[in-house]
């Protein structure tokens, strides 16, 4: 772990939240928009050496992954590198997570391939428009909208994307060509053409996967470095950590060296990456039209062609980035600012579109600036060497990168915790193989219907005794009023003889006009039957509303015992008999407490 994380964590999470009426130009507000100003003053130069080494290791990981993700996106390999450096610099200044940065990812690359038809111009324009949408959401503080996408939906989409991406690389791992990209056709044609497997590609791909797995296991078991360790031990541990962190670069370099050795002999058993455009990308405005052999495609037509991608890509980008950042923040005891993350991602995509980047999101572990510099250097000096990288090696990198995203434990956990949550997960998972937007939309809709059902049909706890006691287990809102009315009528008034009832409202923190009307009708029904309906445990705001409504026969008691005594006509229990203006202000009560 880079040593500057301590200063970063202190600077980003220790200060109090800015008051809502604070000046937008005051130091606290500027620090909130530029988090680097919070942690940089406490950064120690003693950490620079380790951060530089970590940055090189991360950069060596990012370069082969970027080349591989461009393949997933259906774009030339250089577009993966174009997308890998801008986020490193922007997030260095604007990001609130100390453990991630922004760059191309497998899931985002998959979405780009769905919505841009493997056309670079569409991919770059999608990055620009996605960035604008994300920036607008950040400025308007709409980060809370992401809370309406439930974890089962996210897990369902992620698992489906993992299967799609992983299986999509089987063709490269086996050296198969001309395989359709549509998932179901891809599965069919891959199995149909297994006899055409190129032995060289298959062996090299499997060897690369094995090497990546071994290096990952070594990385996971490297013991932490302590200052009291001998210098030689610390150096050896640091070397192992750097080598295993940069395992993608080591394995891809090994595969390229093997391929080059065969090239020298005049025999090439592998399918190679081929030519990669040399040099840094030119700085240009995003393409707002495309000229083809059949004429010019206007900006409006391009937007129509991308369709739902303009909503899915920004949304999934935010979900993926914030989910990853929150996971690291939870593990390392700090907090992130979702709206600030929106601004960082949006600005990265907007600026990235000027250097031919496709949409990016939360990516590899963060050592931003050194990794970004290394990617730029590779574009300027190493692109000729990328020619010899076998596609089977890049396929191994992708498969090993996405495999951990498939969470097999989530199914068992949901079965044990709440089986109904398996429904949105499975709906999302299955429909995402058809169309991503339909899977996410259907999963979110199922989650919303489950939420509305729980609000409309809340559970109630019933206690039988001399007096019937009914307690809503959650809040009480207008969709739930009819169900509550039917249950009260069936248990208290539609029996012989009719029974008095106590409505225990401890969990009811607010009510609306529909609920007030329904309670008024219930009070009238009870009076007609010659029995009483009493209320217990009303919170101050709810009591204020009910008194304001001037409901006939309304009785409220502070405790259940008093209500039961009153309903049994015992002395010593009196209902509240107060005016509305005599109810204490809840804000004042809290301040006094």
The CA distance from 413 to 422, in Å, is 10
DSSP 491: I
CA angle, 77 then 81 then 82, to 5°: 105
CB atoms within 10 A of CB 139: 12
The CA distance from 178 to 215, in Å, is 32
pLDDT at 586: 44
275: left (phi over 0), alpha (psi -120 to 50) or beta: beta
DSSP 276: -
Q: Helix crossing, 247-265 with 48-73: angle to 10°?
A: 60
Closest alpha carbon to 399 in 215, 170, 110: 170
SS3 216: helix
pLDDT at 359: 97
DSSP 148: G
Closest alpha carbon to 288 in 244, 354, 366: 354
Q: Which residue has tokens 């592998």? A: 270
Average pLDDT by stretches of 10, the chain with 593 residues: 36 40 62 76 74 78 92 94 93 84 91 93 97 93 82 89 92 92 90 94 96 92 74 80 87 95 93 92 94 90 94 90 77 81 94 97 70 90 93 94 88 91 94 88 92 86 87 85 91 90 91 93 93 92 92 91 81 47 43 31
List the beta bridge partners of residue 556.
535
Would you state the torsion angle of the CA atoms of residues 111, 116, 120, 125, taken in this order, to the nearest 10 degrees?
-90
Give the distance from CA 247 to its chain's centroid. Answer: 26
The CA distance from 200 to 37, in Å, is 52
pLDDT at 257: 96
CA angle, 33 then 39 then 44, to 5°: 155
pLDDT at 566: 86
566, 592 in Cβ contact below 8 A?
Answer: no
Q: Where are the domains of the chain?
A: 45-223+234-406, 460-568
- Six-digit token pair at 222? 């490297």
pLDDT at 181: 82
Give the distance from CA 15 to its chain's centroid. Answer: 25
C-alpha dist (Å) from residue 335 to 14, 338, 341, 350, 555: 9, 9, 12, 26, 46
CATH of the structural domain 460-568, one choice from 3.40.190.10, 2.170.120.20, 3.30.750.24, 3.20.190.10:
3.30.750.24
Q: Helix crossing, 309-332 with 338-352: angle to 10°?
A: 130
Closest alpha carbon to 58 in 204, 242, 230, 333: 242
């Amino acid at each position: 772990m880079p040593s500057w994380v301590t200063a970063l964590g202190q600077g980003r999470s220790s200060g109090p939240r800015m008051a809502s009426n604070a000046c937008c130009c005051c130091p606290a507000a500027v620090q909130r928009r530029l988090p680097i100003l919070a942690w940089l003053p406490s950064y120690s130069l003693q950490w620079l050496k380790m951060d530089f080494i970590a940055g090189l290791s991360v950069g060596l990981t990012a370069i082969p992954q970027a080349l591989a993700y461009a393949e997933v996106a259906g774009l030339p390999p250089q577009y993966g590198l174009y997308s890998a450096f801008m986020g490193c610099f922007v997030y260095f200044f604007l990001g609130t997570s100390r453990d991630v940065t922004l760059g191309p990812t497998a899931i985002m690359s998959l979405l780009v391939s769905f919505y841009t038809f493997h056309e670079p111009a569409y991919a770059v324009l999608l990055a620009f428009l996605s960035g604008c949408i994300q920036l607008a959401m950040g400025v308007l503080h709409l980060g809370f909208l992401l809370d309406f996408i439930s974890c089962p939906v996210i897990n369902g989409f992620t698992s489906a994307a993992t299967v799609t991406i992983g299986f999509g690389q089987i063709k490269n791992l086996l050296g198969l060509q001309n395989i359709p990209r549509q998932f179901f056709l891809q599965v069919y044609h891959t199995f149909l053409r297994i006899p055409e497997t190129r032995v060289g590609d298959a062996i090299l791909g499997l060897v690369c996967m094995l090497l990546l797995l071994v290096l990952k296991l070594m990385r996971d078991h490297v013991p932490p470095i302590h200052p009291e360790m001998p210098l030689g031990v610390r150096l050896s541990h640091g070397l192992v950590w750097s080598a295993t962190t940069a395992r993608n670069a080591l394995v891809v370099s090994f595969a390229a060296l093997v391929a080059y050795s065969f090239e020298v002999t005049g025999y090439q058993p592998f399918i190679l990456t081929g030519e990669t455009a040399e040099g840094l990308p030119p700085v240009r405005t995003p393409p707002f039209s495309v000229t083809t052999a059949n004429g010019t495609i206007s900006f409006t037509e391009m937007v129509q062609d991308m369709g739902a991608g303009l909503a899915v890509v920004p949304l999934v980008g935010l979900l993926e980035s914030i989910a990853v950042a929150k996971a690291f923040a939870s593990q390392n005891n700090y907090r992130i600012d979702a709206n600030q993350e929106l601004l960082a991602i949006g600005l990265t995509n907007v600026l990235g579109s000027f250097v031919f980047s496709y949409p990016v999101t939360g990516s590899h572990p963060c050592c931003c600036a050194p990794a970004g510099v290394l990617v730029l250097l590779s574009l300027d000096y190493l692109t000729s060497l990328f020619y010899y990288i076998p596609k089977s090696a890049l396929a191994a990198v992708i498969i090993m990168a996405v495999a951990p995203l498939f969470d097999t434990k989530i199914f068992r956990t949901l079965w044990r915790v709440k089986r109904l949550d398996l429904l949105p997960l499975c709906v999302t998972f299955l429909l995402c193989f058809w169309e991503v937007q339909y899977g996410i939309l259907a999963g979110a809709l199922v989650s919303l219907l489950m939420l509305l059902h729980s609000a409309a049909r809340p559970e109630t706890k019933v206690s039988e005794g001399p007096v019937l006691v009914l307690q809503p287990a959650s809040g009480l809102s207008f969709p739930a009023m009819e169900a509550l009315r039917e249950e009260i009528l069936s248990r208290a008034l539609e029996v012989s003889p009719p029974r008095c009832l106590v409505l225990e409202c401890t969990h009811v923190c607010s009510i609306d006009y529909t609920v007030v009307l329904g309670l008024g009708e219930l009070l009238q029904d009870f009076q007609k039957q010659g029995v009483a309906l009493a209320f217990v445990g009303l919170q101050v705001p709810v009591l204020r509303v009910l008194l304001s409504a001037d409901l006939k026969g309304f009785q409220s008691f502070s405790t259940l015992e008093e209500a039961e005594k009153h309903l049994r006509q015992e002395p010593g229990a009196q209902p509240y008999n107060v005016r509305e203006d005599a109810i204490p202000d809840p804000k004042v009560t809290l301040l006094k407490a």
